[in-house]
Structure 1
Amino acid sequence: MPLFCLHCLDRQDGGAALRAKARPAHLEWAVSLGDVVRMAGPLLADDGETMVGSIFLVQAESLAAAKALSSQDPYTLAGVFERVDIHEIRWSIGDGKPA
């Protein structure tokens, strides 16, 4: 199954507050996806603490399916993200590479 990278950047005007409010629902949703999610986590500012976005590596049947998945994210629904880029990727090296 193809792999897709979801690179999501938070809004600079109020994104942090929206993220904090939606975080419990977002984490519950992400965990519920099970093996669909190969890797996920917050993107951090230069201070190494402040969350400024999210990244997901997910398995999906198609780009359309990856976009549909992203549209269900509670962060997306809460308006946290200013920008979401989704691209199919080919995992070439690194631990966890699919066979």
Structure 2
Amino acid sequence: MPLFCFHNLDNETDGAELRAATRPAHLEWAAGLGERLRMAGPLLSEDGAMIGSLFLVETEDLASAQALAAEDPYAKAGVFARVDIRETKWLIGEGKRA
């Protein structure tokens, strides 16, 4: 099954506040992805503040990846200013491989 990278950057207006308010629902949603979630975590600023999200997720195709990303409570709440979804291949490094 293809692997997709979600690279999401928070909006600079109220992204931090929306992220904090929505975090429990986001974490519950992410945990519910089960085995198709290969890796996830926040993107950090130089001072360690959360400024975005990075996910590696297995889905059937790009349309499925886009639909899945749209279900993220962060996306629904308007946390993200930019969402970039690309197919990728895991070639090097340890991790939760297929």
- Calculate the TM-score normalised by the size of structure 2: 0.96
Deviation at 1:92, TM superposition (A): 1.1
The within-5 A match list for 1:1-99 is 1-48=1-48, 50-96=49-95, 98=97
- The answer as to whether partners of 1:3 and 1:90 remain within 8 angstroms in 2 is yes
Structure 2: any 5+ residue segments left out of the alignment? Answer: none
The 4+ residue runs of structure 1 with deviation greater than 4 A are none
* Distance in 2 between residues matched to 1:66 and 1:15, nearest whole Å: 22
* Distance in 1 between residues matched to 2:32 and 2:86, nearest whole Å: 22
Structure 1: any 5+ residue segments left out of the alignment? Answer: none
CA RMSD of aligned residues (A): 1.0
Deviations 1:34-83 (A, max 9, x none): 111100000000012x1000000000000000000000000000000000
- Count of residues in Structure 1 that have an aligned counterpart in Structure 2: 98
Percent identity over paired residues: 63
